[in-house]
Structure 1
């Protein structure tokens, strides 16, 4: 690597795949490094279908703010990628490339993607307009990439955001020239042809994985599910440990790139604490429960912004499904016996022959069964487990199975 040579090398920053906040952190760090090490210019290799608007705005602001010459080499720049491309001082279009289609959309896990509301469209259109003005590009064409209500005769029908081919983008002044390769683009732009590619740091790669829309909701859900299972079983074991690990990974992704900080972690933990208080200390569902949900929702929103609804919805669905499957089937498995019950009650359990006499017996739950707990049969207190359902304290229960030291009960109706 050449350092301190102001005209010797162009630094290349790859903007590929989905635009997200970790990628924004990578671009900001890359620009800071290029400035510190005396790069002659910075080249952005752009091949993206788009992504988060807030991340694209951060990248755009960073590019506009650097004192170094900037060049965007476009393979494909849709949506957020179009804004990033327009932010560079020069734009080179590769063969077969396109730029545009920046209509913001709303994505949820239960509906088809839909166009964002007019307020969101207006805000993003204003950003495209400001960037186009700053770089001397056609303002109306930049706005038409965002707003489908803008009709450009011969280019975009009303109701469709503007997308331009390489030749059309150059013809209309949106891009500066076409190039056959990166080297060709560097030569035509007057940049040094010797390049230094700034690789994506490991922490950014890890953060992009952990905060992706496919991973983050699952980590959040598994973390909550692990803690939930632990609450319903005696002692502290593998479910609780795994839950803490999943939540640690969930927050680690955001902490690595500044998506979340101490505030988000504190809000989340406070929300969990309030929900636990509502479940175990406060009867009914009231202020503590509502406050807990709001605190957790705020933590997710501050971390994921506009995508928080999708992240939260996916997490809720996974937790609900996981809770059903866990408490419906786990108590009947050998794994559950080993992890949940026998370590907790095996040493105190009466011999098998004494417990066998309890089959079919009626008793009273003297603790909540979540699913493990204690029931009284006559004068005897016995550690029991329900067959999967939650059984509140004071309910009448019947022993339906005795397996070793494991006594399975079912709530007796009527």
Structure 2
């Protein structure tokens, strides 16, 4: 009996070790799809995020990668990066324009056409992919007919290639580029611009299941199996969210302005460290933000010149002229900071209210500094013998007109040209001649009146 229990315990021990050492079923062994979300302007941050999603889906063996998209468009370079990543992907990529109210505008049209599966949710729209040229105010800019034709033909050829590769409506894609046409989700489905209309991601997975797509440059057929797949959301990392948030003309302008103020405080108070470090960080973040935007470096130069003028006015006797010039330069720099002719007219530059508010606050700060500097220049000297001019002294030896006065703990020889001053009276210093003070009476001296005797 004892041996039987011994063998039983040994068997249980071996079974326990077997369970522990047995590899747990990984996500790669289970059927799942990865989901990334593109919401907002297409820029280098969002392009890097989508490329990371495609790499992750490939590595963890996802059945497909779904890009939920709501974008007005963005930078053509970032759009091209996304398209190239989708075309080279070893995992089927589905673009899903959702939720209701979302759109795929400008660059979003190209990304939708590049996807292996194109889908839209109800109450969404797609289109308006015509290249737009805009001036620094966001208004349409007139360019030569040759340049407009060159850019438009290149964009049309690109989207027709994508349409041919994916078997979608190339004629409508050409119209979207040349005529800026847009269609609703239902019209897009009827025109074969998209493949699926789905209410949500589970519905999309059911409709995708069993479809055959062409993968890679060789266009190798692949049947998708996504019915009942587990949905794995790939979120933007913290730093990606921060970088995406600061990829805005308004934020870039604010960072440049705050960085300039921080560096000014550090230069004005050497050794304070914190303002300099903070200002440096703001400047670096501003440069990153500008790197994700179609920046006009003339605007950056104007902003830098504005701070040079503002700082110079604190040390030069221009009485606010340089401060006014600095405010004007800051406004001009912010207005032309973004090259709005890029990105299909999506970027319209720094918001005028942000621009004016920041310019007035910074200008007001430096104007206050200039006013204080002017007051300091107009004040009498606070050091040296000149500071005694205007001071009050007490007469210790009667001034007739020469005598002695007490001033700041010392006795001084003094002369009063206004008349005699008795002991204890106060006189004002009006000049200094060597070691002799010239003083003036502070008030007329009243002669003593004889006291009348009362009748007895």
Give the TM-score range, shorter chain: 0.5 to 0.7
Specify the alignment match of 1:66 in structure 2: 89
Q: 1:315 to 1:214 in 2, by over 3 A?
A: closer
Please give the TM-score of this superposition, normalised by the length of structure 1: 0.60
SS of 1:60's equivalent?
A: helix
Specify the alignment match of 1:97 in structure 2: 124
SS of 1:71's equivalent?
A: strand
- Per-residue CA deviations over 1:152-192 (Å, capped at 9, x if unaligned) read xxxxxxxxx11121222111211112222221111111142
- Per-residue CA deviations over 1:96-131 (Å, capped at 9, x if unaligned) read 121111223345553435688614333332322222
Matches within 5 A, 1:198-217: 198-217=234-253
Give me the whole-angstrom Cα distance separating, in 2, the residues matched to 1:314 and 1:242: 25
Which shifted more, 222-231 or 16-25? 222-231
- Per-residue CA deviations over 1:269-319 (Å, capped at 9, x if unaligned) read 9x989x98xx99xxxxxxxxxxxxxxx9xxx999x97699947x9999888
- Per-residue CA deviations over 1:44-67 (Å, capped at 9, x if unaligned) read 111222222222221121111101
Specify the alignment match of 1:183 in structure 2: 202
Give me the whole-angstrom Cα distance separating, in 1, the residues matched to 2:82 and 2:116: 14
Does residue 1:246 correspond to 2:271, yes or no?
Answer: no
SS of 1:105's equivalent?
A: coil
SS of 1:104's equivalent?
A: coil
Give me the whole-angstrom Cα distance separating, in 1, the residues matched to 2:283 and 2:342: 19
Matches within 5 A, 1:11-410: 11-75=34-98, 76-107=103-134, 110-112=137-139, 118=148, 119-148=150-179, 161-190=180-209, 191-192=225-226, 193-227=229-263, 233=268, 235=270, 237=272, 240-251=276-287, 310=349, 324-332=363-371, 350=382, 355=387, 357=389
Give me the whole-angstrom Cα distance separating, in 2, the residues matched to 1:218 and 1:115: 30
Larger Rg: 1 or 2? 2
Give me the whole-angstrom Cα distance separating, in 2, the residues matched to 1:357 and 1:241: 45
Q: 1:247 to 1:127 in 2, by over 3 A?
A: same
Give me the whole-angstrom Cα distance separating, in 1, the residues matched to 2:77 and 2:65: 22
8 Å Cα contact 1:100/1:163 also seen in 2 = yes
Q: Which consecutive residues of structure 2, in runs of 5 or more, have no partner in the other structure?
A: 1-24, 210-224, 294-299, 313-332, 392-456
Give me the whole-angstrom Cα distance separating, in 2, the residues matched to 1:2 and 1:172: 41
Give me the whole-angstrom Cα distance separating, in 1, the residues matched to 2:49 and 2:118: 21
Give me the whole-angstrom Cα distance separating, in 2, the residues matched to 1:109 and 1:317: 16
Give me the whole-angstrom Cα distance separating, in 2, the residues matched to 1:188 and 1:25: 29
SS of 1:206's equivalent?
A: helix
Q: Which consecutive residues of structure 1, in runs of 5 or more, have no partner in the other structure?
A: 149-160, 261-267, 281-295, 342-348, 360-414
8 Å Cα contact 2:338/2:349 also seen in 1 = no
CA RMSD of aligned residues (A): 4.4
Q: 1:101 to 1:228 in 2, by over 3 A?
A: same
SS of 1:44's equivalent?
A: strand
SS of 2:129's equivalent?
A: coil
